[in-house]
Amino acid sequence: MRAFWQDFRDFIARGNLVEIAVAFVMGVAFGAVVNSFIFDIVMPPIGKLVGNVDFSNLFVVLGPEKYPSAEAARQAGAPAIYYGRFINHLINFLIVALVMFLLLRVVMKMRRPKEAPAPTTKECPYCKTQIPIGAVRCPHCTSTLG
């Protein structure tokens, strides 16, 4: 039983699992910031531009009843299609996808291996001394190079 708990502790303490947990928490926090950005900053001007529309309040009731708002329809339990919420979530997704794309692009550029500079010297095949790459005769052993 002691070996089980030791293995479990080792599993939890592994770097990858801890990194995933940190990434998850950061993702949740990032999601809250993005949601606030979308619903509090981006959507109100868009709604104003299209005629003072609150997208979250756009819905179609699947029946003869009329409701003043989407929230009233939800509270009444009326079958409805809340397409305004879908528009909000779609815009949210597109902004998150764009931000993640830009972030990954930067990370991938940082991870690219640096190109090695072109060699400026070569090794003489006879004396094994480093000589300039364009040399046709070794300055150390005077051998003619091919």
Question: What percent of the chain is modeled with pLDDT above 90?
Answer: 9
What pLDDT digit, counting tens, does each position of 62-105 carry?
888 898 888 888 898 889 998 888 888 888 788 878 888 888 89
In the chain, what are the domain boundaries? 2-112, 119-146
Residue 124 pLDDT: 92
pTM (2 decimals)? 0.52
Q: Top-level CATH class of 2-112?
A: mainly alpha
Distance, CA of 37 to CA of 50 (rounded, Å): 19
Tally of helices (H runs) and strands (E runs) in the chain? 5, 4
Most confident stretch, 6-10, 16-20, 65-69, 94-98:
65-69
Residue 121 pLDDT: 92
Task: Point out which residues pair with 61 in neighbouring strands.
Answer: 80
Residue 15 pLDDT: 63
